Amino acid sequence: MLRSYMLFLLTKPEIGVTAWVDELYRVPLYAILSGFVPGDVPGIGTFYDFFARLWAASKNNIRPRKQKRKRKPRRGKKGEKDPTTTPGRIKRLANWMMRHMDKQKDLPMDRLFHFFQSQFLAVSARLGLLGDIGTLGIAGDGTPVVTAAYPRSKPGCNCHAQGLAKCNHPRIYSQPNCNSGWDSARERYFNGYHLYTLTAANSPYDLPLYPRLHPASRHDAVSFVVSPVEFSQRFSLGMIDKILLDAAHDAGPIYDLLIHQNIEPFIDLNVRGKKNLETNCDIQISPEGIPICSAGKKMKRYGFDHSQKRHKWICPIVSEYTEGFGKVEIYLQTTYGC
């Protein structure tokens, strides 16, 4: 059944399941590729019964259909990573995930994830397509998934019949799990999902390890916070050793979460301006990630402390006069604090 549905998505996804069953009868090749005997293919109801088995929930949607009127997100700049709309949201979510990391929360799509691990990931790992499983290196990023040209909804009140053009009453949405998001790469709004995927980074094939759908308006950093925790709870491929992320994930709580999971991060710096970043002491951070001492000079690299997972920096003035005075070391965490 799954093979037939995947064949349907690859060939004629626009015709629908009902027309696909007719295609299986008319084209024997489709039936053979699906694993069926030509002329003896499942009916329409069998496909929908199969879909219901993959969703371990009594309701068809995670969110209720009746919701407040959805607003478009803020328009961003081309190619830039937009900040989250709620201050402190990533920190609160990361702290919650660290406290409840040992408690797995059941998801409606867990059956599909279990099937994905047993039939795809396990086979790919056995064939060596995922790289070294002992030191698993992964990468994470999000991409927009468009499902409709505009949000489809109908009013849940009779204000329009009373002559009120606009009201703030909740509306009934046909796709309650979707909403509107801003695609900064293409500079346009879209309606649908935000697909966040963890992929095998130390492999030349870049195969997906954990695809997860989120609302379109969700930020990459928010989607990432839950992804590595859910991945480690559901899949037994191996321990994640390193992770590669873009500038949208450059936030202190994300570093804390990865260090808590014993994962070495490689994250691009999010440069939003040409000013230096202020810290809780007299040292600043340049847009290139280099600490600036109180004299306004860039410090020099002085090695790496593997026990603390921190870069070591030394004052450029002190480094010229180390004889007779000893070496002065300044420990600065990679991205924030000092």
pLDDT tens digits for 268-277?
877 655 566 6
CA distance 220 to 8: 30
**The predicted structure's pLDDT at residue 338:** 40
Spell 292-329 as b/e; 16+ CB within 10 A means b. Answer: bbeeeeebeebeeeeeeeebbbbbeebeeeeeeeeeee
Percentage of residues in the chain having pLDDT higher than 90: 22
CA distance 220 to 248: 6
- Beta pairing, strands 291-292 & 300-305: unpaired
Residue linked to tokens 């930020």: 219
Please give the mean pLDDT across all residues of the chain.
Answer: 82
CA distance 338 to 326: 21
Whether the per-residue pLDDT at 110 is higher than 80: the answer is yes
Choose from 89-93, 161-165, 305-309 the range with maximum mean pLDDT: 89-93
CA angle (75, 93, 216) in 5-degree steps: 35
CA distance 31 to 3: 10
Whether the per-residue pLDDT at 334 is higher than 70: the answer is no
- Beta pairing, strands 264-267 & 240-245: parallel
Beta bridge partners of 171: 67, 155
Ordered alpha helix ranges (H), 248-330: 252-260
Say which amino acid occupies 263: I
31-72 pLDDT, tens digit each: 999 999 998 999 999 999 998 888 888 888 888 888 888 777
**Looking at residues 83-107, what average pLDDT do you find?**
81
Whether the per-residue pLDDT at 177 is higher than 70: the answer is yes
Q: Which of 144, 160, 154, 158 is nearest to 176 (CA)?
A: 154
Burial of 162 (0-12, 13-18, 19+ CB in 10 A): exposed
**Is the four-CA dihedral 197, 200, 206, 210 of positive or negative sign?**
negative
Choose from 39-48, 57-66, 178-187, 309-318 the range with maximum mean pLDDT: 39-48
207-250 pLDDT, tens digit each: 999 999 998 888 888 899 988 888 888 887 777 889 999 888 88
Torsion angles phi and psi, residue 45, rounded to 5: -65, -30
Kindly report the number of other CB atoms within 10 A of residue 29's CB atom. Answer: 10
**The predicted structure's pLDDT at residue 328:** 40
Where exactly are the structural domains of the chain? 2-53, 66-267, 284-332
**The predicted structure's pLDDT at residue 336:** 39
pLDDT confidence tier of residue 335, bands split at 50, 70 and 90: very low
Helix (H, G, I), strand (E, B) or coil at 31: helix
Between 164 and 201, where is the model more confident?
201
Whether the per-residue pLDDT at 259 is higher than 70: the answer is yes
Eight-class DSSP state of 258: H
CA distance 38 to 12: 19
**Looking at residues 91-105, what average pLDDT do you find?**
86
**The predicted structure's pLDDT at residue 323:** 41
Beta bridge partners of 304: 311
Beta bridge partners of 181: 190
